[in-house]
Amino acid sequence: MAGAAWDAFERRMRELVDLGGIAGVIGWDQQVMMPPKGAELRAHQSTALASLLHERVVDPAFGEAIEQAEAEPDSLDDARRASLREARRDRDRAVRVPADLVRELAMAEAEGFEIWQKARPAKDFAMFRPVLERLVALKQQEADAIGHEGERYDALLDAYEPGMRLVRLEPLLHELRDGLVPLVAEIADRPRPDVSFLARDFPAHMQIEFSERVMRDLGFDLEAGRQDESAHPFTSGAGPYDVRLTTRIVPGDPRGSLMGTIHETGHGLYEQGIVGKKIERSFAGMAPSLGLHESQSRLWENQVGRSRAFWEHYYPAYREAFPDALVDIELERWLRAINIVEPSLIRVEADELTYNLHILIRFELEVALLRGNLAVADLPAAWNDAYRAALGVEVPHDGDGVLQDVHWSGGAFGYFPTYTLGNLYSAQLMEAARRDVGDLDEQFRRGDFAPLLGWMRKHIHSQGSLQPAEETARAATGKPLEPANLLAYLRAKYGELYDLA
Amino acid sequence: MAGAAWDAFERRMRELVDLGGIAGVIGWDQQVMMPPKGAELRAHQSTALASLLHERVVDPAFGEAIEQAEAEPDSLDDARRASLREARRDRDRAVRVPADLVRELAMAEAEGFEIWQKARPAKDFAMFRPVLERLVALKQQEADAIGHEGERYDALLDAYEPGMRLVRLEPLLHELRDGLVPLVAEIADRPRPDVSFLARDFPAHMQIEFSERVMRDLGFDLEAGRQDESAHPFTSGAGPYDVRLTTRIVPGDPRGSLMGTIHETGHGLYEQGIVGKKIERSFAGMAPSLGLHESQSRLWENQVGRSRAFWEHYYPAYREAFPDALVDIELERWLRAINIVEPSLIRVEADELTYNLHILIRFELEVALLRGNLAVADLPAAWNDAYRAALGVEVPHDGDGVLQDVHWSGGAFGYFPTYTLGNLYSAQLMEAARRDVGDLDEQFRRGDFAPLLGWMRKHIHSQGSLQPAEETARAATGKPLEPANLLAYLRAKYGELYDLA
């Protein structure tokens, strides 16, 4: 197991991992702690660190270190092989894109973000269109530089969901869509639950207090992490022993802070679980894909945090925390309120069920853009048509339509499907956990989340990137990725809540 | 003013400055935000960043970039010349120390700090002695590697107080000592003010609130900085637009949080004032010495924050903030309490007057250690003798004696005198400001600190490192560094407070 070549590679890898941890901390700091006038300076600093990391990855000496370590297979166990696999993937992607294109992309992405920040409130797609056209063209060039087998989208998707390909993803998502659209339509015909009580007074400090209690109960270790407030909730940090979550108070809706916290806690539990001497401070000690990461946030938020059993445990205490607001609200009404299905315009406000339709619309459109089957000029109309067809809603203006998300403005094409992959994974993982650890609902009713967390720790978290995401999930569940579990779960849950036949 | 050589140098300098700003943020984060289990990971991360910065500085290409920029004098103004001067100084120091010695020093310093953390509470100098002996020997080697003209101390002092030499510092500090010792002895014969009321209840949140009010009044910009709590107050941050101060509540002593805040505000005002296109993101845009930096904290803390005029303005509001504790305490008693002189054992708890004696003792001892005139084995006895002679106190054990400070454990020899240099500078700057901007006391009584800050901004802050520290101060005050002003100020102030003849 010794190996001078491995040691030389490991030194370089550790530097990248350690400096990457620093990038995590300063990214968190920027959104949570930084005073406003510090923004320009911080942009320079983050750029300096990102450039440096890129320089280290494309350094020919790093390429040689990878090759030489690969050439001593006797010195490699599965964790080392996984780190080398990830190193080669990252480096290949990085060196294939010419420096000029890297620069052009960085400039277009910075400009895209800046213009988008103005175009969205101005509801002005024409303002955004030129830079989006440039971005699409540059991403096509980038995809060609990275290489693909006919689908440019694959080269971009691979950055977020390594190993996933359109030829597999597209039928999977179409099958999901075909199951979801009629279910959403059925529910749209049912009476809408009255959720007007959500506008009552839920004091902010009690919301934070309750969300921290739940975070702790679910198993988040506050000695190895923290929670703060930020405008947009996220999870970041310096590594598995320093995981930073954020939440926010949504005025007029107490569900926002609690569900946001549970969602980020799911990410945080994953990060805190990617430990063990074999994988720490290595590329193997990272999640293998955004989709698998998102499976953890979605699982704890939706499958746990919006379940009847969860609230049978927590609702009495929740009601006690907000006695005035919830005086006349029984558990059943609360359950319907946190699981209300409403076809709507805005992805980030969407419910568990329709959320996937928002994603599928974006996925179809970005695939068409990358394939050259859709011109940027035709994007708003295509967007509006898709919302009408899938969700039955009319888009009043582009600010609440095609301009609503930040992703494309920063060049993040291929990112959206990872959200829905997270939902697919979460349904399959939950089914497998139910099979392995007994009656989860009964455990939740007792406030016992340790068996579920233990199962995730063993089958997902501690696996890091030892295998690609789908292999990890397949080993845990015994099945390939498929929409059946998610559809069955959604149909059962919402069938009951909405009295469907 | 163009110059390709300058541009090439500037790119490298900016990277160092930007990454240095990141080091500032993660250092702050470590002490203020990091969860406890994150410590080991953070140590790796900080080391990775420090190694990288060192690598960039000793990189031969950086040396060439400095030389080539120096070789195009027509492209240089005073700010660029200053940046090159600082770059050459830093690089020369760095390249002269062999890599093996750098490593040995880093290991001895880490070990020294670890052992000191145990030896101090155990009051066990014998435990600390071997590593301190190794540290002294290694620092002697380091000093010889850096180079000096006979005094190894000079090579170490130069890291903190560039340009200062023992041949100049020693007589200056001896003259100060000769003036201070009799003044302290005189005061020791006077009745001690009754400060028992300080143990009354001063609610922590009111302490923080009041200290933030004062911080703002003095001119600290909270849009370009913030204040948090930490175990040991300090000032750090990412640069002049993102300055981070900390304070702490001292149980049983409300002076701690307020005076700590004013002290760090002095550092923070300096940092926020080192701005202007010419010097930002350059080596010229940094304080030229620790002593000059300390002059700002000492000036605002002592010359302003412990002055009668300051409290004539603030005391009514302070009393209102703590009505129960201060009901029977008139301004005069408060003034005496915050200016009490007490010969004592512990430097960090010392008053404005005796503080310098604590420093002078350390200075004498570390000079003797470096010169080889004092063996580490004889250090505790020499320490205790010096405390008896200068302050008239008996050291009960080494924990409250020679083991009390962290500095030597981390190899920081030559650091201590910068504290007293700060006091010397502050007295001279204050005298010059009084000469230039009129009746400061009258302004303080109105709560108007802008004229004093404006003077500091112009003569000190905005000067960055355009000149070495003493040149900057000389240009501001018209005088070289000398003890006369500090001695005169102390004698006048404490003569009045203690009714000396």
Give yes or no for A331 touching B (CB within 8 A): no
CA B179 and chain centroid, separation: 22
Q: Of the listed A264, A271, A366, A431, which one is catalytic?
A: A264
Whether the Cβ atoms of residue B112 and residue B127 lie closer than 8 Å to each other: no
Residue B283 has a pLDDT of 98
Sign of torsion over alpha carbons B263, B265, B268, B272 = negative
Q: What are residue A75's phi and psi, to 5 degrees?
A: -90, 5
Q: Which of A241, A272, A275 to mutate to test the interface with B (most CBs of B within 10 A)?
A: A241
Note the pLDDT tens digit of each residue in B15-71.
999 999 999 999 999 999 999 999 999 999 999 999 999 999 999 999 999 999 999
Q: Which of A22, A59, A226, A243 to mutate to test the interface with B (most CBs of B within 10 A)?
A: A22
Interstrand relation of A242-247 and A235-239 (parallel, antiparallel or unpaired) = antiparallel
Whether the Cβ atoms of residue A6 and residue A80 lie closer than 8 Å to each other: yes
Q: Token pair of A14, please?
A: 């550790």
Residue B1 has a pLDDT of 61
Interstrand relation of B235-239 and B242-247 (parallel, antiparallel or unpaired) = antiparallel
d(CA B185, CA B261): 30
d(CA B390, CA B358): 9
d(CA B401, CA B345): 7
Chain B nearest-CA residue for A37: B224
* Facing residue for B35 by CB, picked from A19, A38, A223: A223
Paired strand residues for A247: A229
With 0-12 / 13-18 / 19 or more C-beta atoms within 10 angstroms meaning exposed / middle / buried, residue A439 is: exposed
Any residues with CB less than 8 A from the CB of B440 and at least 6 apart, and which? B309, B430, B433, B434, B451, B452
Whether the Cβ atoms of residue B26 and residue B42 lie closer than 8 Å to each other: yes
Chain A residues close to B19, C-beta within 8 Å: 45, 48-49, 52
For residue A244, the SS3 value is strand
- Quick check: is B264 catalytic? yes
Interface of A with B in 352-411 (CB under 8 A): none
Residue B3 has a pLDDT of 85
Spans of chain B, pLDDT less than 70: 1-2
ipTM > 0.85, yes or no: yes
Give yes or no for A15 touching B (CB within 8 A): yes
Q: How many CA atoms are closer than 13 Å to the CA of B343, on its beta-carbon side?
A: 22
CA A154 and chain centroid, separation: 18
Length of chain A: 501
Name residue, tokens 């010096």. Answer: B386
Sign of torsion over alpha carbons B285, B291, B293, B296 = negative
Q: Which of A455, A199, A198, A210 is nearest to A311 (CA)?
A: A210
Chain B residues close to A25, C-beta within 8 Å: 25-26, 29, 45
With 0-12 / 13-18 / 19 or more C-beta atoms within 10 angstroms meaning exposed / middle / buried, residue A454 is: middle
Chain A residues close to B20, C-beta within 8 Å: none
Q: How many CA atoms are closer than 13 Å to the CA of A131, on its beta-carbon side?
A: 25
| DSSP code of residue A70 | H
Residue B168 CB: number of other CB atoms within 10 A?
Answer: 14
d(CA A301, CA A317): 18
Q: Which of A31, A29, A26 is nearest to A46 (CA)?
A: A26
DSSP string covering A455-493, please?
A: HHHHHTGGGTTSS-HHHHHHHHHSS---SHHHHHHHHHH
Interface of A with B in 222-241 (CB under 8 A): 222-226, 238-241
Q: Token pair of A155, please?
A: 């080269």
Chain B residues close to A216, C-beta within 8 Å: none
What residue type is B295 in one-letter code? S
Q: Please report the number of interchain residue pairs, chain A to chain B, with beta-carbon separation below 8 angstroms.
A: 118
Helices (H) and strands (E) in chain A, counts: 21, 3
Could A19 and B52 be called an inter-chain contact, meaning their C-beta atoms sit closer than 8 Å?
Answer: yes
Q: Token pair of B79, please?
A: 């700010």
Could A37 and B238 be called an inter-chain contact, meaning their C-beta atoms sit closer than 8 Å?
Answer: no
Q: Cα(first)–Cα(last) distance of chain A, in Å?
A: 61
Nearest Cα of chain A lies from the Cα of B160 at a distance, in angstroms, of 25
Paired strand residues for B228: B246
Could A19 and B47 be called an inter-chain contact, meaning their C-beta atoms sit closer than 8 Å?
Answer: no
Q: Of the listed B10, B86, B264, B366, which one is catalytic?
A: B264
Chain A nearest-CA residue for B226: A35
For residue B250, the SS3 value is coil
Q: Token pair of B32, please?
A: 């203020």
Chain A residues close to B29, C-beta within 8 Å: 25, 29, 33
Name residue, tokens 């009901």. Answer: B327
d(CA A250, CA B394): 61
Any residues with CB less than 8 A from the CB of B22 and at least 6 apart, and which? A22, A26, A45, A48, A49, B49, B238
d(CA A318, CA A338): 13
Give the pLDDT of chain A (501 residues) as one tens digit per residue. 668 999 999 999 999 999 999 999 999 999 999 999 999 999 999 999 999 999 999 999 999 999 999 999 999 999 999 999 999 999 999 999 999 999 999 999 999 999 999 999 999 999 999 999 999 999 999 999 999 999 999 999 999 999 999 999 999 999 999 999 999 999 999 999 999 999 999 999 999 999 999 999 999 999 999 999 998 999 999 999 999 999 999 999 999 999 999 999 999 999 999 999 999 999 999 999 999 999 999 999 999 999 999 999 999 999 999 999 999 999 999 999 999 999 999 999 999 999 999 999 999 999 999 999 999 999 999 999 999 999 999 999 999 999 999 999 999 999 999 999 999 999 999 999 999 999 999 999 999 999 999 999 999 999 999 999 999 999 999 999 999 999 999 999 999 999 997
Any residues with CB less than 8 A from the CB of A226 and at least 6 apart, and which? A244, A245, B33, B35
d(CA B317, CA B334): 13
| DSSP code of residue B300 | I
Q: Cα(first)–Cα(last) distance of chain B, in Å?
A: 61
Give yes or no for A437 touching B (CB within 8 A): no
Helix B78-96 vs helix B125-146: crossing angle, to nearest 10:
120
d(CA A123, CA A456): 43
pTM for the model: 0.95
Q: Which residues of A84-108 are buried (b: 16+ CB within 10 A; e: fewer)?
A: bbbbebbbebbbebeeeebebbeeb
Q: Which of B242, B244, B277 to mutate to test the interface with A (most CBs of A within 10 A)?
A: B242
Could B22 and A48 be called an inter-chain contact, meaning their C-beta atoms sit closer than 8 Å?
Answer: yes
Residue A501 has a pLDDT of 75
What residue type is A396 in one-letter code? P
